[in-house]
Structure 1
């Protein structure tokens, strides 16, 4: 009898040892830091490749939607974006009765879509090989890994096919923006006097809004050089702010600059400084929020995707107005009509002034994140530390958005109406997205409550 008991005990011990690695690998691959690191990797490549803010938002959206769709394939808490986003049809489903790691599938989908949409494929390949080796080192069964990668690839291919129908490729061959003689309209600004960026961005297929002009803001202040006019007063306000900036205002302007391509001039030498885009900044704030809320992989993928959609539709809406009104930048106006030697704190980006892109996408992102994580969600934003700037603390997403918006006045980039009306535009767009896009299944939520 003792021998039988001892044999049974040995079997139990051996069985326990055999299943322990399985439990370990599942715990490891469910770590959302794999997802967060991968989003950051794409951000780093976007910075390296110098994608404009609108184009960066497009990359973020397709890769994040892919990551989300793969992550939620077997999670009944969530609903697919299929049928909710313009042109997105039903996403491939995993095979019944087979074991997957949908966390690994999500990484695969994100990284394949990201690699497809950037230039530096070599950087993506190097990162991909490294992170997949980490996954393998978790002792994930080989068949589960292969099956998960294959499913992630299916989802990625579906999203890539969807992206190919958004008119982006066609806009690459559209004509450049033509400079007009009208003194009221935008002109290239120093020091690089670059061509206008993405003058046809309103031709890109919208993601969730109905049309580029759905959230058309109120008209900008009529142009005038009359010193008693409202336009002159608005320009003079920026001039006076620029001459009397406090240290805190300078810090705020620099923190939210987010100009992907700043041209530096030292004597006869010109060189570029690369920075994160404003959309990339909000994607990093999303990471900060997910980490604080201890969001799992699916919840984090949901947050990235919803913020990215707010960003991309926000840029489509904003750029639609920019190239409709074509408002002259403060730097150009002030140099011509107030002070020819005035230089803004920040370098003026190469596109028309109205409305403020920072204001629109910050307003839309803040509404989205507030819906996901709640109001009065305090956080420390370390996005700009790698670019040599200290952290800033905020007591809510709205607080951060409002600071991002007003920073453009401190930087000498925008007049007040572009900032204030841009926030109205962005918040309205964000609220529309919150009401239209449903990522949580109400029946599951109701059952849980």
Structure 2
């Protein structure tokens, strides 16, 4: 039996607050992550909304750290200020009932940092990142109307407890194309041997009155009754606390994991409401009606824990564990895995530990059977779905250092591969045109860019011009349409962009490109001099540089 350790929640809270107040170090991200988890729990918002909040917060932190690093490379004060500001700005918006506690932690943390340019820049980076991510996710569908209709014959009673997050499958995703991208096949047919196996296993091991469930299985079941983000994020912190990790690495890891877990819940709720499969308590009390001779009815059967208020198939806990496990394996990169550990309020604060990711994910899956709320097929399918979503997070966020500073709102949708990065050096051409109502009687309008494109070796690769177009010397040519934009982290620079593209030239270097990101911009902003009557018709060529990242779908 695993050793269980009990801790004092009060002592932990004090330790975390003191840690957050310290100057920047590799675990400033994890310190704030722990606090964010505590505030989410106190807000009592439920598991799907809680994971959404954590994804928004950790994405803002990731982008804030990247922006601070661009402006003040290697500056611990800038990074710490960025992390604190991103947490405060996003959490106060998402958890207004916790605003006082959030503000207090922020004031303490910022007060411990040396005042100066780095701190100010970090605060600005954090606030801007939070505002950008909040705006991006403001219409993600989390507050859509509940249109769920219980399955019932007219006049027949059905239990009247509301179901959990029926609108979740339609939410805007972080990583997947749509909520059904990894929708599994249906649950086992009721006349199959698999169904009989699943039914009889959970009937024997998941009953509140079970005599076959061992004491350790009972402890594990009670442990994983808890489902809010802190139980999983503590496992993440086991890896994030490893020696030698940087603030940027941890920010990226927590963003990837939080996005994967938020998408995982969208995917699992899509499948749950699509199939509407019955929970063991319903099946076992109707075992004489499922058409299987191998499933005996048991009147009055109840599970060990209360049933979640959504359909059974697949298992949500399993998909979360699978997604997290896939990320942790990738993060380890073949090196020995640190001991994984987390604690559970539903087990009296006990801590459990695992030597491997597989041991951790297996335990989570088995616990749902021993709790009496899931079948074996459901937990196995959930783990597989989670691993596939985790792999997306590895590809798109966790292992994307070349694009680590790019806001997630500018990420190409779907499965896209970065195929080339080129540098542009040239000008943005503006013309002063009359405009009624403008302060000086006119405004500077962008006419076209004009730039040379250089490859990774510094060799000329092509030209960038109006349209906008990118043309390689081999004759391949693409034209772009702006899909999203974000302010440049540095002032006095043109925005960063995401553009979709189509080929308008021959086959060659650029013909496979489906999306282009314009990032790391300098200069190029409209002229500062007045566009008045004397200047109407005048043009100016404003120097700029940018990186263009080319993606293929």
Q: Same fold (TM over 0.5)?
A: yes
Instruction: Give matches, 1:67-146, under 5 Å.
Output: 67-75=61-69, 101-122=78-99, 125-138=100-113, 140-146=114-120
What is the deviation of 1:100? 6.8
- Aligned match for 1:41, one of 35, 44, 52: 35
In structure 2, the CA distance between the partners of 1:229 and 1:300, relative to structure 1 (3 Å rule), is: closer
Q: Are 2:351 and 1:391 equivalent residues in the alignment?
A: yes
Distance between the aligned counterparts of 1:442 and 1:117, measured in 2?
Answer: 27
User: Any conservation in 2 of the 1:167–1:205 contact (CA below 8 Å)?
Assistant: yes
Give the aligned partner of residue 215 of structure 2: 247
Secondary structure at 1:218's aligned position in 2?
Answer: coil
In structure 2, the CA distance between the partners of 1:286 and 1:293, relative to structure 1 (3 Å rule), is: farther
Pairs aligned (count): 366
Deviates more, 1:126-135 or 1:346-355: 126-135
What is the deviation of 1:293? 4.1
Instruction: Give matches, 1:105-254, under 5 Å.
Output: 105-122=82-99, 125-138=100-113, 140-169=114-143, 171=144, 173-175=145-147, 177-181=148-152, 188=159, 194-223=161-190, 230-242=194-206, 243=210, 244-254=212-222
Between Structure 1 and Structure 2, the one with more strand by share is 2
Secondary structure at 1:72's aligned position in 2?
Answer: helix
Give the aligned partner of residue 291 of structure 1: 241
User: Any conservation in 1 of the 2:318–2:386 contact (CA below 8 Å)?
Assistant: yes
> What is the root-mean-square deviation of aligned Cα atoms in Å?
2.9
Q: Are 2:257 and 1:307 equivalent residues in the alignment?
A: yes
In structure 2, the CA distance between the partners of 1:111 and 1:396, relative to structure 1 (3 Å rule), is: farther
Distance between the aligned counterparts of 2:109 and 2:388, measured in 1?
Answer: 42
Structure 2: runs of 5+ lacking an equivalent: 1-20, 288-296, 405-455, 457-553
1:48-77 Cα shifts (integer Å, max 9, x gaps): 22222221111111110100111122547x
Structure 1: runs of 5+ lacking an equivalent: 1-26, 77-93, 260-276
Q: Give the number of the structure with larger relative contact order, counting CA–CA contacts within 8 Å between residues 6 or more apart.
A: 1
What is the deviation of 1:322? 0.3
Q: Are 2:283 and 1:324 equivalent residues in the alignment?
A: no
Give the aligned partner of residue 52 of structure 1: 46
User: Any conservation in 2 of the 1:218–1:421 contact (CA below 8 Å)?
Assistant: no
What is the deviation of 1:230? 4.8
Displacement over 4 Å in runs of 4+: none
In structure 2, the CA distance between the partners of 1:370 and 1:95, relative to structure 1 (3 Å rule), is: closer
User: Any conservation in 2 of the 1:36–1:287 contact (CA below 8 Å)?
Assistant: yes
User: Any conservation in 1 of the 2:28–2:83 contact (CA below 8 Å)?
Assistant: no
Distance between the aligned counterparts of 1:60 and 1:130, measured in 2?
Answer: 17
Secondary structure at 1:210's aligned position in 2?
Answer: coil
In structure 2, the CA distance between the partners of 1:142 and 1:436, relative to structure 1 (3 Å rule), is: closer
Give the aligned partner of residue 381 of structure 1: 341
User: Any conservation in 2 of the 1:380–1:391 contact (CA below 8 Å)?
Assistant: no
Distance between the aligned counterparts of 2:55 and 2:259, measured in 1?
Answer: 6
1:191-248 Cα shifts (integer Å, max 9, x gaps): xx63110112111011111111111112111346xxx865354222211113210011
* TM norm structure 1: 0.74
User: Any conservation in 1 of the 2:257–2:393 contact (CA below 8 Å)?
Assistant: no
| Larger gyration radius, structure 1 or structure 2 | 2
Distance between the aligned counterparts of 1:431 and 1:233, measured in 2?
Answer: 30
Distance between the aligned counterparts of 2:33 and 2:76, measured in 1?
Answer: 26
* TM norm structure 2: 0.61
